[in-house]
Amino acid sequence: MAHDTEHHYHDPMNVTNPEHAEHHLVTPGQYSIVFGTLLVGTAITVGAAYVDMGVLNPIIALAIACTKAVIVILFFMHVKYQSRLIKMTVGAGFLTFIILIGMTLSDYMSRAWGLW
């Protein structure tokens, strides 16, 4: 009986788990819109680089790059249609990355900034 129990053990949570998102297909039409948006974004970022906006130049370039990256992550990488587990994983990764950058930068800024 012990063997039987082991063999037939199925956690029903795994079968009926609402976390398992409905499988969603992104269509070629939607991919084409994403593709066009990314190309337009590239054109804008190159154009913006040649306009003198002072300190805003790198900020705008990074804002466009972040927007394009989010579009790629949401649609090409299907994160928009994934379960909450995957969304949390992706979000946690970027949050950890920002924390590491922020803490390292604050260390450099508070120790030797301007002394090199």
Residue of the chain from 80, 106, 111, 116 that contacts another protein (CB under 8 A): 116
Q: CA 35, CA 55: separation in Å to the nearest integer?
A: 30
Q: Which amino acid is at 95?
A: L
How many other C-beta atoms lie within 10 A of the C-beta of residue 22? 6
Q: Round to whole Å and give the CA distance between 9 and 23.
A: 26
CA 5, CA 36: separation in Å to the nearest integer?
A: 55
Distance of CA 2 to the CA centre of its chain: 46
77-106: which residues touch another protein (CB under 8 A)? 77-78, 82-83, 85-86, 89-90, 92-94, 96-97, 100-101, 104-105
Per the listing, tokens 């012990």 go with: 2
18: contact with another protein by CB under 8 A: no
33 near another protein, judged by CB under 8 A: no
Q: Which of 3, 18, 55, 111 binds another protein (CB under 8 A)?
A: 55
Residues that bind another protein (CB under 8 A): 1, 5, 8-12, 14-15, 17, 20, 23, 25-28, 31-32, 34-35, 38-39, 42, 45-46, 49-55, 57-58, 61-62, 64-65, 68-69, 72-73, 75-78, 82-83, 85-86, 89-90, 92-94, 96-97, 100-101, 104-105, 108, 116
